[in-house]
Amino acid sequence: MAYTEASSFCAVTDVEGRYGRGTFSGTTAPTRDQVIDMMGARAGEIAGRVRRQANVTLAPPLPTTSSQEQEIEGLARQANAFLAAGDALAGHEVHKTPEGKLLAEGFWAEGQRLLDNLVALEVAVASTAESGLVTIGTTRDLIPFDEAF
């Protein structure tokens, strides 16, 4: 696939932080480009689920002007990072260590939990909108992970 980092709700550094194996590059397994593809694929899944369940179009980059937008951006970013980190572990680490599979499954479970929270928040936001489809996502200012909530 030909995703770019801008195709995702998270940054490569978000995935690196969860993956815990250092910086991704052209010579690591997975490579930086492979991780970006995992991020982009998961971002598409996140956007699709939010669209189906909340009738909201969510597209990177997300705005972070209001506290509600910051919460939405934080949930999308974290879900994207955890899911992509699980994919990276499953594809490149699971066979190396016995705990690799458990860690990947934990990342996927946390990503799904965050995605569930994102969908619930978007449903609540959409229900307060006057009518129709709400589009969120035109600019992006990353906020530090610890300040997302």
- Read off the pTM: 0.83
Query: CA quadruple 141, 143, 144, 145: dihedral positive or negative?
Result: negative
DSSP of 78-137: HHHHHHHHHHHHHHHTTTT-HHHHHHHHHHHHHHHHHHHHHHHHHHHHHHHSSSS-EEE-
- pLDDT, one tens digit per residue, over 68-124 is 999 999 999 999 999 999 999 998 876 677 788 889 999 999 999 999 999 999 998
pLDDT band at 146 (very low <50, low <70, confident <90, very high): very low
Domain residue spans of the chain: 5-141
The β-bridge partners of 58 are 136
Give 113-145 pLDDT, tens digit per residue.
Answer: 999 999 999 998 877 764 444 455 543 333 343
